[in-house]
Structure 1
Amino acid sequence: MIHLTLEPITAEAFAPFGTLMPPQPGGTGRLDLIDELVNTRESAKPRLSIAAVTSKALPLVAVEMERHVHSSQAFVPLDGAEYLIMVAPHGPDGLPDMAGLRAFRVPGDTGINYRVDTWHHPLTALGEAGRFAVLTFVDGTAGDEQFVPLPEHVSIGA
């Protein structure tokens, strides 16, 4: 089993995998992500959904990862729930590079946007369950998402 320790998320550490949507200074203003929301299929349409995410205790054992080959994917917490994300670069075989795994603790006032084709673990709330707005481009085919079992389980702890 691989053991990871949660890192506090920063824009720099997360940059290879996507962008952060931090709270606006002073609680007002607007953050536009026009260039970060990417769809590579003309047939795909934006799907905005609300996902209810249950909370998990640490250590969490991860057994799979997913990716969206043709779409970025954005998550915005609606209830202020802190959450955990795990990401990986691509290995030479196109699957998650287990040596490059990283796990981040994300504050409940910060959203994330995964780049197109980013390997990531399914969203997991920490502490309290929460609802998240999720934006993905889909066309209803198998190309919308891919899940793969991990060759070795990953334990993620504080």
Structure 2
Amino acid sequence: MKEESLSRATKRVKAQRITTEGFHYYGQVIFPREDGKPYDHNDAQLLLQDGIPRFYIMHLENRGLNFDRITRHLKCTQCLGSLNGKEWFMGVAAPGNFLDPIAKPELDGIMVFQIPGDCFIKLNVGTWHAGPFFESEAVDFYNLELSDTNITDHHTCDLVETYGVEFEILP
């Protein structure tokens, strides 16, 4: 039996330099602060109460700048940041319907942010995300999520199957 191949178009998206204001629909950008500063709204507003938090360093190689899948987590926030000051990219889209575990992101709502290596991001619960992506051969990232996020709270939309499109990031 012959397998059908899905036709796909490539949507090129210019990455926007991340700012606190531009990213606020999707999460927070956390920049360095003075030591001893009291906790406030500029600190990562974490939701990790539904399990055991997991903080680890993930090693990623040869990610390139194309993606055809986007994922969301409905039970927790997630924090990501690169080590060694490496710049990287993240595709995001608004959460949409939290009550529908098979909801899909709005295709025209997917955008890409360019993230410098001197900050990290906190993704809001339900924010669709694809990445991290980068142009270096390899980059290490720290990641804070729940210990079982990738097993019990990993909702992925195949963009080729759903919309017939893959994304190419333009730095």
TM-score, L = length of structure 2: 0.77
> Is the counterpart of residue 95 in structure 1 residue 99 in structure 2?
no
Q: How many residue pairs end up in the alignment?
A: 151
Distance 2:149 2:80 in 1: 20
Report the TM-score when normalising by structure 1.
0.82
Counterpart of 2:108 in 1: which secondary structure? helix
Paired position in structure 1 for 2:45: 36
8 Å contact from structure 1 (residues 63, 149) kept in 2? yes
- CA deviations on 1:77-103 (whole Å, 9 max, x unpaired) are 222111100101245772111111110
Equivalent-residue separation in structure 2 for 1:149 and 1:123 (angstroms):
17
Other-structure match for 1:155: 168
Q: Distance in 2 between matches of 1:30 and 1:144?
A: 34
Distance 1:141 1:104, change over 3 A: closer
Deviation at 1:128, TM superposition (A): 5.4
CA-atom RMSD in angstroms: 2.4
Name structure 1 gaps, 5 residues minimum.
none
Q: In structure 2, what is the Cα distance between the partners aligned to 1:21 and 1:141?
A: 23
Quote the residue 1:109 is aligned against: 118
Give the equivalent residue in structure 2 for 1:53: 60
Alignment gaps of 5+ in structure 2: 1-9
Q: Structure 2 vs 1, CA of residues 118 and 45 (structure 1 numbering), >3 Å: closer, same or farther?
A: same
Larger Rg: 2
Question: Is the CA contact 1:55–1:126 (under 8 Å) kept in the aligned structure 2?
Answer: yes
Identity percentage of aligned residues: 26
What residue in structure 2 maps to residue 145 of structure 1? 154
